[in-house]
Structure 1
Amino acid sequence: MAIGRPSRRRGGKLRLIVGMIGVLAIGFGLIYGSHWLLNPWVSLPGRPGLTGYWQGDVTVAPGDKRHLVLHLKGDPPSRCSNCPDIDGTAEVCGAGQHTEYDVWGDPLNFRGTRFALKIRPVRDGPGRYLNRLDGERDGDVLTVETGVTVVDADGVARSTTSSDRPSEPPLRLELRRATAADYRAAC
Structure 2
Amino acid sequence: MKRETTMPSPQTVPIAARRRGRASGWVVLVIALVAMVGFSQAMELFWTRIDQHRFPWAYDRSGRPTLTGTWVGSLTTARGARRGLYLDLELEPLKFGGGSRGHRHGAFRRAQSDKLVGELLLCAGPYREQRLELHGNELADDASRFRLSFRVPEGTTPADGLTPSNLRGMWNGRDSLRVEADLYLRRGASAITDGADAETGAPQPGALHRAALAEFRATCHRLASTR
Please tell me the TM-score bracket, short chain as reference: 0.7 to 0.9
**2:145 is equivalent to residue 128 of structure 1:** no
Cα distance, 1:89 vs structure 2: 0.7
Look up the match of 2:4.
none
User: 1:1-187 maps to which residues of 2 (within 5 A)?
Assistant: 12-45=28-61, 46-60=63-77, 62-78=79-95, 83-95=113-125, 97-122=128-153, 123-138=157-172, 139-152=174-187, 155=190, 157-159=192-194, 162=195, 164-165=196-197, 170-179=203-212
- On the 8 A contact 1:40/1:110 being kept in 2, the answer is no
Cα distance, 1:178 vs structure 2: 2.3
**Structure 2 stretches of 5 or more lacking a match?**
1-15, 99-105, 221-227
TM-score normalised over the length of structure 2: 0.65
Matched to 1:91, the amino acid is L
1:64-85 CA-to-partner distances (Å, cap 9, x unmatched) read 3221101111112327757412
Kindly name which structure, 1 or 2, has the bigger radius of gyration based on alpha carbons. Answer: 2
Residue 131 to residue 9, structure 1, CA distance change in 2 (3 Å) = closer
Query: SS of the counterpart of 2:35?
Result: helix
Pick the structure with more helix per residue.
Answer: 2
- On the 8 A contact 1:40/1:112 being kept in 2, the answer is no
Matched to 1:59, the amino acid is T
Pick the structure with more strand per residue.
Answer: 1
TM-score normalised over the length of structure 1: 0.77
**Structure 1 stretches of 5 or more lacking a match?**
none
- On the 8 A contact 2:57/2:64 being kept in 1, the answer is no
